[in-house]
Chain A
Amino acid sequence: MAEHKHDEHYHPPGLQHQFDDMEQQMDSVTIGMWIFLAQEIMFFGGLLTAYLVFRSKYPMAFAAGSNHLDPFWGGLNTLVLIVSSLTMALTVYFAQKGNRNMQVILILLTMFFGAVFLGVKAIEYTGKYDHGQIPVNGWNKVVKEGEHKEEAALRLPFEVKASAAGSEAVHPNPRGDFHILNDSEEVKPLIEIIVEQKNLGEKGFLTESEMVGYFSEGEFDLVKFTQKVQLFFWIYFILTGLHALHMIVGLGIMTWLLYKAWLGSFSAYYYSPVEISGLYWHFVDIVWIFLFPLLYLLGRHFLAGGGH
């Protein structure tokens, strides 16, 4: 840079007017992105706090909710995002090397994995819609008695078992209300456990909120229990919805980055946009790493033979 020192008109490409040199700019944008991510942590943190409060109040209802999610799709998405983090990290590496072609390929791969994630999410959401698990009454697929019997075969593993036995058909849902399948293999064992624990009284592991929240006059009240599961799905949709929104924003950033990389803008000297976009991408991945176990995995052992 020394040769440019006395040339007032020289302006390195990518250097904004308010900065003196590239180093200052790089520091500023990196600190800026880290602080922005701290802000994002507080944003998701508020929501996760709400989740934790209700999970600790109604663990059994939340376990019932978790058992309605398919860990196969959740696990697949986890894998997809981890691989996309790898391609993103490699993008930064090749940006520093100034390798345009590899950058373009890896950004495209990253975007592909991001799109796969959103596609899987769409499949899951559609499943929830079909099965009356959108937590808002009237927002689900309207199913009348006797319709769509054959769909039962397409359901999750537990339900396939049930439908094979011929004991369960699609729940009629003429108003599109939220419901859970109280007599299905998913919930039945849980309800048995809840009643059993209630009878143990103080010695049982039901929380105080559950003792009040699932029972009317000492009897198990499915409507009240369903409302707690509804809360789980409400939180599930907001958490995963906001996360998906961040993925969409991420894809937007990747599109812009792809364009810049295509033009060959990045080099060892100027790669901060790739670096901070990468930080953002990794952050969104990490949020999912928290969401997956919290939403899909906790409480599954109640049905997996793990007992109590």
Chain B
Amino acid sequence: MDNADAMNLEGAGAEPKVNYLTNGFSLRSWLLTKDHKRIAIMYLISVSFFFFIGGLYAATIRLELLTPASDLLESGTYNKVFTQHGIIMIFLFLIPAIPAILGNFLIPIMIGAKDLAFPRINLLSLYIYWIAGAFVLYALLQGGVDTGWTFYTPYSTTFSNSYVMAVGLGVFINGFSSILTGLNFIVTVHTMRAPGMTWFRMPLFVWAHYATSLVMMLGTPVIAITVLLLAIERFTQVGIFDPAYGGDPILFQHMFWFYSHPAVYIMILPGMGVVSELISNFARKKIFGYEFIAFSSIAIAVFGFLVWGHHMFVSGQSIYAGLVFSFLTMVVAVPSAIKMFNWTATLYKGSISYDTPMLYALGFMGLFLIGGLTGLFLGSIGLTVHLTDTYFIVAHFHYVMVGGQVIAYLGGLHYWWPKMTGKMYSEFWGRISAMLVFIGFNLTFFPQFILGYQGMPRRYASYPEELQVLNVFSTAGASVLGLGMLLPLIYLAHSLVRGKNAGDNPYMHPGLEWRTSSPPPTFNFEKTPVVTWEAYEFGPDSGMDLEAAKRREELESTRY
């Protein structure tokens, strides 16, 4: 097993080797690093920071909606609060969360490379993210923005008195961060795979990120030019989105959603990649229908570009266009369903262990199912007239984004935490928080389906008194959800100081990332690995000496 450093028994008793965390301690060694793992850790800290701010805005929204009157916030302030919640969560949390943190950390390791193809560009994308974040923070501190995260014209160009320019520039700049990340991933997957790591031996996590990167590369430039046109129009007070000049606000919506609909696949595809890993590994079974899951990711990326019009069913788009977009929306549900069926089939007769990451993965399957199916309600051209701009749609996209992406992100973070830090978190608290997130999430958002169906519109600070009971449920659920999200912050931080040493392969999983030390050395592997096994191979073909690995685990555990 000369290619599997983790299985190298001789190394076990020796002094701890230099890993990526201990390879230099100065601030400079972090800020000028070219190591994808260090960049991922810096992303982790920055993205968590914005997640926290976005979460505070969410808490404010739920508190305001506890009572029917607009008593905590005035309507104008409420507009800013939900806008900023959306902008921060989407552009600064959901889009970079899994790709820039887990993808950055894991893709080179999973395919057996020393680093991403362009380490300096990777670092550049982090700095661009910081600059974008600074613009957004500046706007928030100056008084915020109130256009809704969609920046619809002509409100955003002509009428809004808030800091549209600063936030718009932030979004524009942030786009380049995800473009560069996507570019890096595509090239890395093409050229940096280790010997024997064929396309169909790659983990599905990598496939999902490849598809995500395609969307990032082809979608993001369109939002960049759209936001740029919006900013120029706001500055010059002339432009193509202004009906006074013969311009067309609907064109803005087309261009905005041409990116922003595929962007929801940027948000969910990496989550699906994580879940594929978790389901297969914790069922200790080769994933069912590997090729189908791999190609369904690509199919989602392709079809995702053809459905943007379903955001505009009631905003003046032609009815014939609506019919086509409605049909294509149904089509794009198919690859998602393929994934769901394959995951379910993988679980069948698997030897399932309910570790924390697996709890998140199972939670994902339930919540994404609801989120996906309610998406079909909204894609039906008749029903959507009743549901547009109600809490039904708020509940729908939170089921997909939070129930899907955030939960997958937390699952992935827990799963690879021992690899990233070398420490094991408290399994007990992990399970508690996974349960709290699941329960809190459902309590928060399920009532919103009913509220929306009953006609409660989104983006208002006040609502009729009859709807208060369900809103109280929702706010109570948000408190539980908030607690469930804060707990990991505490026990994961605690694990850094007091956590048990995780060992190189705490779960006994066959992926390449588990065949290097934890935390990995700067160049990931002592020797370039040679891959001779298929993905998710748990049998003797995996090239893992399972007995030796077990013995090594025992040795490790007696050492500490």
Contacts and interface: CB of A to CB of B under 8 A. Distances in A.
Interface of A: 16-20, 24, 27-28, 31-32, 35-36, 38-40, 42-47, 49-50, 53-54, 57-58, 135-137, 139, 178, 209, 213, 224, 227-228, 230-231, 234-235, 238
B401 interface: no
Chain B interface size, as a band, is: 35 or more
Given A28-B192, A38-B218, 19 more contacts: A17-B523, A18-B114, A38-B217, A39-B183, A42-B221, A42-B222, A43-B222, A44-B225, A46-B221, A46-B226, A46-B258, A50-B240, A53-B248, A135-B238, A224-B246, A227-B245, A231-B245, A234-B238, A238-B232
A18 B248 contact: no
Contacts of B236: 135-136, 139, 234
A234 B246 CA distance: 13
B50 interface: no
Contact of A39 (B190, B217, B255): B217
Q: 3 tightest CB-CB pairs across the interface, nearest first?
A: A43-B221, A18-B115, A46-B225
Contact of A137 (B119, B238, B251, B255): B238
Given A18-B117, A18-B119, A35 B245 contact: no
Nearest to B223: A46
Nearest to A32: B187
B198 interface: no
A6 to B, nearest CB: 15
A230 B191 CA distance: 48
Nearest to B528: A20
B136 interface: no
B183 A235 contact: no
Contact of B192 (A24, A47, A227): A24
Which among A28, A178, A228 has the greatest number of chain B C-beta atoms within 10 A? Answer: A28
Given A18-B192, A53-B248, A40 B221 contact: yes
Interface in B139-198: 179, 183-184, 186-188, 190-192
Contacts of B117: 18-19, 28, 32
Contact of A213 (B34, B115, B224, B246): B246
Which among A18, A24, A238 has the greatest number of chain B C-beta atoms within 10 A? Answer: A18
17 contacts: A16-B119, A20-B528, A28-B192, A31-B186, A43-B221, A44-B225, A54-B240, A57-B248, A58-B246, A139-B236, A213-B246, A228-B246, A230-B245, A231-B247, A234-B238, A234-B239, A238-B229
Main secondary structure, interface of B, reads helix
A27 B190 contact: yes
B245 A45 contact: no
B240 A231 contact: yes
B416 interface: no
B179 A27 contact: no
B237 interface: yes
Given A136-B238, A213-B246, A230-B245, A49 B255 contact: yes
Contacts of A36: 183
Main secondary structure, interface of A, reads helix
A42 B251 contact: no
Contacts of B244: 227
A291 to B, nearest CB: 15
Nearest to B176: A39
A46 B119 CA distance: 29
B113 interface: yes
Contacts of B190: 27-28, 31
A199 to B, nearest CB: 22
Nearest to B252: A50
Given A18-B113, A35-B186, A35-B187, A46 B239 contact: no
Contacts of B118: 28, 32
Contacts of B237: 136-137
B265 to A, nearest CB: 16
B471 interface: no
Interface string B240-276: 1000111110010001001000000000000000000
A28 B116 CA distance: 10
Contact of A46 (B116, B238, B255, B528): B255
Given A24-B192, A31-B186, A38-B218, A235 B240 contact: yes
Interface string B188-212: 1011100000000000000000000
Contact of A31 (B34, B187, B245, B251): B187
Contacts of A53: 240, 248, 251
B191 A27 contact: yes
Contacts of B528: 20
A47 B229 CA distance: 9
Contact of B246 (A49, A50, A231, A238): A231
A58 B247 CA distance: 10
A45 B192 CA distance: 31
Contacts of A32: 117-118, 183-184, 187
A139 B232 CA distance: 14
Contact of B238 (A27, A50, A230): A230
B111 to A, nearest CB: 12
A109 B236 CA distance: 37
A147 B159 CA distance: 38
Contacts of B388: none
Contact of B220 (A39, A58, A224): A39
Contacts of A235: 240
A139 B225 CA distance: 23
A238 to B, nearest CB: 7
A50 B233 CA distance: 13
A125 to B, nearest CB: 15
Nearest to B108: A18
Nearest to B239: A234
